Structure 1
Amino acid sequence: MKHSFEVKLAAVNHYLAGHAGIISTAKLFQLSHTSLSHWINLFLLHGPRALDCRHRRSYSPEDKLCVVLYALGHSESLPRVAARFNIPSHNTVKNWIKGYRKSGNEAFIRRRKEKSMTRSDDTHENEANMTPEEMKNELRYLRAENAYLKAMQEHLLEKKRQELEKKRKSSGA
């Protein structure tokens, strides 16, 4: 069931004001507590505009791949991953993961009536023979790969920072 922006915002504000817990607030507004929890995460991460889903969003192949690789590389729940990337439904992320597991990166690059691009180790020889559409697909793939590597680097640096902080606190305490 779709809920208006006003209902979402009122429920989130009611909860954040401390009037009631998630389950009580959800009952009061006749919502599922999982939806309310997701909206709270969206609101806290991206502000009130994240609750307004009046228009359909489209995501680039790079965005989809980045979200999927983040979801697979982290121990966060799908609703939390969806909230982190401001995606209205965790089912969208779930479907992207299914597609990725079935077809790999091609799941996001392939378009209707478009042949999938086969990747070769000898890319320099093939570059001269590539059509503009194949070059665009290659560029999308490389951008997605770059986004993934940046996300993984950020994750590893954060993990290392947390480990160092933990060691520092335990040795200084």
Structure 2
Amino acid sequence: MSKLTNDQRLEIYHKRKQGMTISDLAKLYNVNKHTIEYLIRLLDRHGEDVLRKRKNRYYSPELKLEIINKVSMEHRSINETAIEYGLSSHGILCNWMKSYKENGYTIVEKKRGRSPTMSKKVKPVDPNDKDAIIRQKDEEILRLRAENEYLKTLRAVVQARKDRQPKKK
């Protein structure tokens, strides 16, 4: 399935309103019938301005939770809810629902951009909080084990390189 530009989406909408069938449009633009049906319903509900919004929209965690609750608590369909909120695809809402369930029914916001290469400084832990101390020590043990594995591998590579070199007399 190919990705459609906003101009193509408008063409599909206008051709459908002129009487062209959804099946013909799906073949012509090489997309799924359901994608076209969703697009038609979305444009009927919100108008052509819904396509003019910027490409990568930001949805706050509160809005995501509100939308997910409409589906899960009020038992509304994913398509209906996605159209109501003007989402560009119902797949966005499906992904939110999946992520919500996988993360223990909490909204986790993805961090944008590249992760820093330098390690973060360890925050001081309250000496009375035993769970936090144990968690911190476990993380340190994991980090040290990974570092040891890396150094062992590096030492083995250096040793193998030395063994390959001819011995000098």
**TM-score bracket, shorter-length normalisation:** 0.5 to 0.7
- In structure 2, the CA distance between the partners of 1:75 and 1:28, relative to structure 1 (3 Å rule), is farther
- For normalisation by structure 1, the TM-score amounts to 0.54
| Aligned partner of residue 106 in structure 1, secondary structure | coil
Counterpart residue number, 2:3 = 2
Counterpart residue number, 2:81 = 81
- In structure 2, the CA distance between the partners of 1:20 and 1:111, relative to structure 1 (3 Å rule), is closer
Give, in whole Å, the separation in 1 of the partners of 2:42 and 2:26.
Answer: 16
The answer to whether the aligner puts 1:71 opposite 2:67 as a matched pair is no
State the 1:54 CA deviation. Answer: 4.9
Give, in whole Å, the separation in 2 of the partners of 1:25 and 1:99.
Answer: 33
State the 1:86 CA deviation. Answer: 1.0
- In structure 2, the CA distance between the partners of 1:60 and 1:45, relative to structure 1 (3 Å rule), is same
Counterpart residue number, 2:22 = 22
CA contact (8 A) 1:64 1:108 kept: no
Counterpart residue number, 2:43 = 43
- In structure 2, the CA distance between the partners of 1:27 and 1:109, relative to structure 1 (3 Å rule), is closer
Give, in whole Å, the separation in 1 of the partners of 2:63 and 2:79.
Answer: 17
- In structure 2, the CA distance between the partners of 1:23 and 1:110, relative to structure 1 (3 Å rule), is closer
Q: Deviation per CA, 1:92-132, whole angstroms, max 9, x where unpaired?
A: 2112112222335532479799xxxxxxxxxxxxxxxxxxx
CA contact (8 A) 1:65 1:108 kept: no
Give, in whole Å, the separation in 1 of the partners of 2:13 and 2:38.
Answer: 10
| Aligned partner of residue 55 in structure 1, secondary structure | coil
Equivalent positions of 1:4-153 (< 5 A) are 4-17=5-18, 19-52=19-52, 54-104=54-104, 106-108=106-108
State the 1:21 CA deviation. Answer: 2.2
Larger Rg: 2
Q: What is the percent sequence identity of the aligned residues?
A: 27
| Aligned partner of residue 107 in structure 1, secondary structure | coil
Q: How many equivalent pairs are there?
A: 112
Give, in whole Å, the separation in 1 of the partners of 2:32 and 2:84.
Answer: 20
Q: Deviation per CA, 1:21-63, whole angstroms, max 9, x where unpaired?
A: 2112222333321111111111011111223465201101111
Runs ≥4 in structure 1, deviation > 4 angstroms?
A: 108-113
Decide which structure has greater helix share: 1
CA contact (8 A) 2:9 2:39 kept: yes
- For normalisation by structure 2, the TM-score amounts to 0.56
CA contact (8 A) 1:15 1:21 kept: yes
Larger RCO, structures 1/2 (Cα 8 Å, 6+ apart)? 1
Give, in whole Å, the separation in 2 of the partners of 1:21 and 1:110.
Answer: 39
RMSD: 2.7
Gaps of 5+ in 2: 113-119, 121-169
